[in-house]
Amino acid sequence: MTKRQQYTYKYNHSPKGIAARKRYLEGAGKEVSIKSQARWKKSIAGKEARKRERAKLKNIPFEIFKTKARSAINKAVLRGKIIKKSCVICGSVKTEAHHTDYSKLLEVTWLCGEHHRHIHRTAERQG
């Protein structure tokens, strides 16, 4: 165990660390995290980082299809052309759109986040 790991372990198990974790889990930490992320996005360094990420994605042809498909489905949901449905596997109401074919922009399967990630993981393993 490195010195950094030892320090982190000691802090996390100290009364101060336990109190900090409890505050975070009660919601105070989440608000601070969201605010700090918003500040980062507005900062010059944050804007530059996002520009670099977008530039990387623009150079990958397959990513262009994915971006267009996501954009099309989000616009359709906002305009009321498509209504979000519950997860086809577990019935959860909090769902995400899963494209089996990115060329068919509005043909999606509605899945909860857990099942959506599971399907992508199994697809990656299969090649």
Cβ(10)–Cβ(2) below 8 Å = no
Does 125 share its domain with 70? yes
Beta strands in 66-113 (DSSP E): 96-98, 109-111
| Structural domain containing residue 114 | 64-127
Does 111 share its domain with 125? yes
Q: What is the pLDDT of residues 17-58, one digit of tens each?
A: 888 777 777 765 666 677 777 888 888 888 888 888 877 767
Amino acid occupying residue 110:
W
Does 2 share its domain with 51? yes
Does 54 share its domain with 31? yes
Residues 6+ apart with CB under 8 A from 85: 95, 110
Which of helix, strand or coil describes residue 111?
Answer: strand
Does 83 share its domain with 124? yes
pTM equals 0.52
